[in-house]
Structure 1
Amino acid sequence: MQTAKNYIDNVYETVVKRDPHEEEFLQAVKEIFQSLTPVFAKNPKYIEHNILERIVEPERLISFRVPWVDDQGKVQINRGFRVQFNSAIGPYKGGLRFHPSVNASIIKFLGFEQTFKNALTGQAIGGGKGGSDFDPKGKSDAEIMRFTQSFMTELSRYIGSDVDVPAGDIGVGAREIGYMFGQYKRLRGHFDAGVLTGKSVDYGGSLGRTEATGYGTVYFVEEMLRDQDLSFSGSTVVVSGSGNVSIYAIEKAQEFGAKVVACSDSNGYIYDENGICLDTLKRIKEVERCRICEYVKEHPHAEYHEGSEGIWTLPCDIALPCATQNEINEQSAKILVSNGVKAVGEGANMPSNLAAIDVFLENKILFAPGKAANAGGVAVSALEMAQNSSRVPWSLEKVDAKLKEIMIDIYKNSTHASEEYGHPGNLVVGSNIAGFVKVADAMIMQGVI
C-alpha cells in the first residue's frame, strides 16, 4: 500500500503533467497538498477511494466566446469561463471576475480554493468560479451592459438557483450583477431571485453583502489576535487594494480602534500617517470611480507612490493584503517581518505566494490564510440564497451577527484541525484540512460520480 506522502506526490505529478502551464492552479494545488500528509496517514480511506485525484479535477470547465459591440459600433470579442469544480456539499457557488488576467488557470485555481472555502463556512454550497478577460475599466455603462448581456446569454445555460449560483468578484459589482440578472430574467421568462447573489437589496439582495468579505476578514483576524492577547485596537494597519474588500476591511479595522495608514490600486499606493480618511476613499472609489492618486489632492499631507508593490515596505503591526493573487512575494514578506509585522490576514484569494507564506510561518507571524479569512463574502452570499428561498429579508444586524459567528467558527475549526493533525497554530494547515475533510467525506458517501 502507498504511503501518504507517496500518494500525494504521485497525484501532484499527474496534475503537473496534465496542466503544466497552469501556474496559478498548480500553486493552489501544491499549497493544499502540502497540508494533507497527516490526514492521509491517519485516514487511509482517502487513498483507497483515490479522493485526491478526483478532487483536483473539476466536474466541468466551460469556456465560451463573448461577442459585443462597443460605443463606436465595432464588434469586440472576449473569452468567458465557468468552472463547476465540486458539488459534493451543495450547488456550485463562486464569483465572476472581469479582468484582463483571467484565463483557465486562474479560474481553476479560484474554483479549487472556493471548494474548500465554502466547506469551511458550514453552509451547503459547492465550489465554482467564473469570469472573463473583459476589462470594465474605461468602459461606458452602455458597453458594460452590452458585454454582460452577451456573457449571460451563454452562461445562462449552465446556472440556476439549485445548480450554480454565481456572484461578483474583481470587476463585477452591483452594476454588472444587475445587468446580468436582467438578461437572465429576460431569457428565462421568470424571476429567479436565487440565481445570482450580490444583487441590490431592491430586488432580492442581502444587506451586508457589500461589506461581508472585508468585515469577515477583520472578524477572523481579531479572533486570531485575541488568542495571543493582541488586538486591532492601537495597531497600525496596511491594507492593499481599494475595492469593496479593502474599503470595508479598513472600515471595520478603524471601528476596532486601528490606525489604517495605507491602501492601493493597480497603479500605486497612498500613505497617510494620520490614518486613511474613509469618507474620501469611498467617494473616490465608489462614487467617482477614480484612481487612488486623487486622494492626495484633498489630503496634501498624504503621499502617493507609483507601483502598488511598494506598499509592503511600510512598517505596520497588521498587514491585510486585499488586492489580488501573489501580491506578496518572499522579499516583501521578509521586509514586513523586519519592519515588525505581528499578523497577516489575507482578504484576497492567494495574495501571498508559497515562499512568502513560509517566511511568515518560519518567523512565527500570525497568519490567516485567504480560504479561511476571506470566506465572509461567500458566507453572506449563502445567507442571501437563504433569504431568497424563504422570501424573507433579514436585518443588517442579523446578517452581521451571523457573519461574525461564521468567521469565529471557521477560526475555531481551523485551529482545532491544526492541533488534531500535529501543527498547532498553523492555520494554513488547519483550514486546508478542515475544508478538505468535509468535502472528501461527502464524496465518499455519494459514491464514484
Structure 2
Amino acid sequence: MQYQSEYLQRVYDSVVKRNPNEPEYLQAVSEVLTSFEPVVAKRPDLEKYGIVERIVEPERVIMFRVSWVDDSGKVQVNRGYRVQFNSAIGPYKGGLRFHPSVNLSIIKFLGFEQIFKNSLTTLPMGGGKGGCDFDPKGKSDNEIMRFCQSFMTELSKHIGADTDVPAGDIGVGAREIGYMFGQYKRLRNEFTGVLTGKGLTYGGSLTRKEATGYGLLYFTEEMLNCMKDDSISGKTIVVSGAGNVAIYAAEKATQLGGKVVALCDSTGYIYDPNGVNLDVVKQIKEVERARISEYVKRVSGAEYHDGCSGIWGIKCDVALPCATQNELDGESAKKLIANGVMAVAEGANMPCTPEAIEAFQSAGVLYAPGKASNAGGVAVSGLEMSQNSMRYSWSFEEVDAKLQGIMKSIFHAAFDAAKEYGVDGNIMAGANIAGFLKVADAMIAQGVAY
C-alpha cells in the first residue's frame, strides 16, 4: 500500500512488519489509514503525539485456552481471545464471536473497526472484540453451557462493567450470553451490567435483537434522503445472511415500503420475486435453527440455489451485505452495478472487499461502510449499559427512537466530515475521519504513559 503521507506510510509499514500473517487486520488498517491522508495534512499534532502509531496497536491482547467436556465425556480444547484495543473514550466494548474461522487477525480487525464505530455512536465506549474458534453448530445445550462457563471463567478476570463490556456476535446469541452472564455472576458474586444482549428478565434492553438490522435501514434511509432525495419505499432489496442482522434489516426494509427478494445462509440463497415471507424465515432460522433451503418447501414461487455468491447477481436497487467479512468481491460488485444498484450499505463487518468498494465508488453507487451503517447494535448495547447503570429500563418505542436518532447522527457526522476534509460524498472516508478525530482528541488530552 502506498500513501502520500510519509507519516502514514511509516506507520503502515510498521504494522505490516509487526503483523505479517494477519491479512484481515492489515486490510482494515489499510482502508482506514487511506482516509486519514487529508486529516494528517491538516493536523500535524497527530504525528507529534504519535496518535496513529498508538491507535493501530492494541492496548492489550489476551489469548487463553478453553477446556471443556463434551457429552461423550471427552475433553475438548479451544483457543479464546479478547483484544482490548482502545479505551480513550470509555470502557472497551465489542462482541464475542464463536466460529471455527476465529483467529487473532480477525479479532484484531474487528476490534480496530470497533474503535471508530463506537466513537460514531456518540456514546462513551472504547473499542474491543473477542471470541473463540469454537463452533456452536451441532452442539447440545449442555455442551454450549459447559463451553461458555469455561470460556467465562478465564474471561471474567479481564472484564467488568466499567472496564470491558462484551456482547454477542456470530455464534453468540441470547443462549450463550445467558450462560456466560450466569458464570460471571457466580465467580464475582455481583449482579452487574458486564455483558450486553442479555435477556429481558435479567437486565437486557428492548430492541437489542432488532437493533443492528433496524439501524442499518435507518442509516440507509437517511443516506438516500440526503444524497439522492429518495427513500427505501418502492425499492427492490437483496439482503445476504439469515441471522439477526439480516432478518431485522429485511423486516425494517419491508416496513419502510421496500421489497426484499433474497436472503442466504452459509449453504445457499433463496430468491422470492414476490417478496420474502419473514414469518416463514423466522420460524426456520430462529425457532427450528434449520437451513434457509427449507423456505422453498413452504413458499410457492420461491427458488433455492446452492452457494452464496450468486445472490449478488439478482437485480436490485439496494444491496445489504449482512453475512460476514469479504463476502462481496469485485466481480459481484460489477454484477450489482450492471443490474442498476443505487446503494450498498454494510450490515456485516467489512463484507465488501477493497475491489468491490472501489467499483461502487467509481460507478457513483452510494456506499455505506459497516462501522457507520451497522453501528445500531453497539448503540443499543450502549443504551443497555446506561439502563443497567440506572437500574431502569426504557420501552421498545423509546429505545427505537433513540436508535433512529443515533443512526441519523452517524450519517451526518460522516457526511459532514467528508465534506470538511475534501472528500465530499465519500461516506467511508467521512466515517473513518469522524470516528478517529474524537478518539484522537481524547488520547491527546490524556497524555502519554511513559
TM-score under structure 2 length normalisation: 0.98
Tell me which residue corresponds to 1:323: 323
Residue correspondence of structure 1 range 109-148 to structure 2 within 5 A: 109-148=109-148
Tell me which residue corresponds to 2:287: 287
How far the C-alpha of 1:309 sits from its partner, in A, is 1.2
Note if contact 1:97-1:171 (Cα within 8 Å) is conserved in structure 2. Answer: yes
Identity of aligned residues (%): 67
Tell me which residue corresponds to 1:364: 364
Tell me which residue corresponds to 1:345: 345
SS of residue in 2 equivalent to 1:195? coil
**Cα distance in 2 for residues equivalent to 1:395 and 1:282:** 23
How far the C-alpha of 1:273 sits from its partner, in A, is 0.5
1:168-208 superposed Cα distances (whole Å, 9 cap, x missing partner): 0000000000000000011111211x100000010000000
**Cα distance in 2 for residues equivalent to 1:329 and 1:50:** 34
**Cα distance in 1 for residues equivalent to 2:140 and 2:111:** 29
Question: How many aligned positions are there?
Answer: 446
Tell me which residue corresponds to 1:200: 199
Tell me which residue corresponds to 2:32: 32
- Structure 1: which 5+ runs fail to align? none
How far the C-alpha of 1:242 sits from its partner, in A, is 0.3
**Cα distance in 2 for residues equivalent to 1:251 and 1:343:** 18
Amino acid aligned to 1:212: A
**Cα distance in 1 for residues equivalent to 2:4 and 2:350:** 25
Amino acid aligned to 1:330: G
Matched, 1:96 2:96: yes
**Cα distance in 2 for residues equivalent to 1:163 and 1:4:** 37
How far the C-alpha of 1:310 sits from its partner, in A, is 1.0
Note if contact 1:344-1:366 (Cα within 8 Å) is conserved in structure 2. Answer: yes
Note if contact 1:4-1:40 (Cα within 8 Å) is conserved in structure 2. Answer: no
**Cα distance in 2 for residues equivalent to 1:164 and 1:322:** 26
How far the C-alpha of 1:4 sits from its partner, in A, is 6.8
**Cα distance in 2 for residues equivalent to 1:362 and 1:272:** 30
SS of residue in 1 equivalent to 2:325? coil
SS of residue in 1 equivalent to 2:319? strand
1:202-235 superposed Cα distances (whole Å, 9 cap, x missing partner): 0000000000000000000000011112111110
Tell me which residue corresponds to 1:404: 404
**Cα distance in 2 for residues equivalent to 1:272 and 1:422:** 42
**Cα distance in 1 for residues equivalent to 2:284 and 2:86:** 38
Moved runs in structure 1, 4+ residues, more than 3 A? none
Tell me which residue corresponds to 2:224: 225
1:138-162 superposed Cα distances (whole Å, 9 cap, x missing partner): 1110110000000000000000000
Residue correspondence of structure 1 range 266-285 to structure 2 within 5 A: 266-285=266-285
SS of residue in 1 equivalent to 2:5? helix
How far the C-alpha of 1:300 sits from its partner, in A, is 3.3
Tell me which residue corresponds to 1:309: 309
Residue correspondence of structure 1 range 61-80 to structure 2 within 5 A: 61-80=61-80
**Cα distance in 1 for residues equivalent to 2:284 and 2:46:** 50
SS of residue in 2 equivalent to 1:179? helix
Note if contact 1:82-1:131 (Cα within 8 Å) is conserved in structure 2. Answer: yes
How far the C-alpha of 1:239 sits from its partner, in A, is 0.1
Tell me which residue corresponds to 2:107: 107
1:1-52 superposed Cα distances (whole Å, 9 cap, x missing partner): xx97110011100000000110000000000001001100001000111111
Tell me which residue corresponds to 1:12: 12
How far the C-alpha of 1:446 sits from its partner, in A, is 0.3
SS of residue in 2 equivalent to 1:371? helix
**Cα distance in 1 for residues equivalent to 2:293 and 2:333:** 25
Aligned-pair RMSD on alpha carbons?
A: 0.8
**Cα distance in 2 for residues equivalent to 1:420 and 1:375:** 22
- Structure 2: which 5+ runs fail to align? none
Tell me which residue corresponds to 1:163: 163
1:340-362 superposed Cα distances (whole Å, 9 cap, x missing partner): 10000100000001111000000
**Cα distance in 1 for residues equivalent to 2:315 and 2:65:** 45
**Cα distance in 2 for residues equivalent to 1:154 and 1:36:** 37
Tell me which residue corresponds to 2:432: 432
1:297-351 superposed Cα distances (whole Å, 9 cap, x missing partner): 1013211100011111111000000000000111111111001100001000000
Note if contact 1:4-1:41 (Cα within 8 Å) is conserved in structure 2. Answer: no
**Cα distance in 2 for residues equivalent to 1:400 and 1:214:** 12
How far the C-alpha of 1:294 sits from its partner, in A, is 0.6
SS of residue in 2 equivalent to 1:34? helix
Amino acid aligned to 2:196: T
**Cα distance in 2 for residues equivalent to 1:178 and 1:382:** 18
**Cα distance in 2 for residues equivalent to 1:333 and 1:199:** 37
